[in-house]
């Protein structure tokens, strides 16, 4: 990356002595690593963001997202690596686990390991503009569910459960609208 140069002129008001002009010059290199919060995103997170922006659903299960990005990023991608990569960017992604609560201990058994890792991933960036030719109702529903996820506390079982019910209702409504249009 090319170093940047910044020149900042500063002058002192005339009532405080003669006019001074100071020029500061420095070079800076970005210090963010791909795993720092708010820094440059690693390939897993950037591909996940692109998929979530283009997908018709507002949120995808981790397993669904892995299927969509594994071929582009890493075929050995698993739920733990994806979750870790996305949780490094809380300003862009929210990973919500609907299996929070007292029943979680029952699901810790080996036969339920896939279910417990299959949380929901939602992109919580600014609203995505309405694509040309898309149904405004479906776009509004999608963006509304995404917007609601911004304020969900992932540690709260009740908030995540309420949001989860909204996501499932949005998916059912989307299917009903598609059937009606066909």
At residue 51, the pLDDT reads 93
What is d(CA 12, CA 21) in angstroms, rounded to the nearest whole number? 8
> Does some domain include residue 30?
no
At residue 119, the pLDDT reads 87
> Does some domain include residue 155?
yes
> Does some domain include residue 121?
yes
> Does some domain include residue 93?
yes
At residue 9, the pLDDT reads 37
At residue 109, the pLDDT reads 62
At residue 116, the pLDDT reads 55
At residue 49, the pLDDT reads 94
> Does some domain include residue 29?
no
Helix or strand run (H / E) with residue 151: none
Domain span at residue 77 reads 38-181
> Does some domain include residue 15?
no
> Does some domain include residue 17?
no
Number of domains in the chain: 1
> Does some domain include residue 59?
yes
pLDDT < 70 stretches in the chain: 1-40, 99-117, 182
Whether the Cβ atoms of residue 147 and residue 123 lie closer than 8 Å to each other: no
């Amino acid at each position: 990356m090319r170093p940047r140069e910044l020149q900042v002129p500063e002058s002192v008001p005339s009532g405080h002595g003669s006019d001074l002009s100071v020029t500061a010059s420095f070079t800076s290199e970005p210090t963010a690593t791909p795993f720092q919060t708010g820094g440059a995103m690693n390939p897993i997170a950037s591909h996940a963001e692109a998929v979530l922006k283009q997908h018709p659903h507002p949120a995808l299960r981790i397993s669904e997202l892995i299927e969509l990005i594994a071929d582009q990023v890493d075929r050995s991608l698993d739920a733990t690596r994806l979750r870790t990569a996305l949780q490094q960017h809380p300003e862009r992604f929210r990973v919500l686990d609907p299996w929070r609560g007292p029943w979680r201990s029952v699901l810790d058994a080996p036969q339920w390991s896939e279910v417990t890792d299959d949380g929901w991933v939602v992109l919580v960036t600014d609203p995505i503009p309405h694509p040309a030719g898309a149904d405004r109702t479906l776009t509004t529903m999608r963006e509304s569910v995404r917007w609601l996820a911004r304020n969900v506390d992932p540690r709260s079982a009740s908030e995540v459960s309420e949001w989860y019910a909204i996501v499932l209702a949005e998916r059912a409504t989307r299917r009903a609208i598609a059937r009606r249009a066909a």
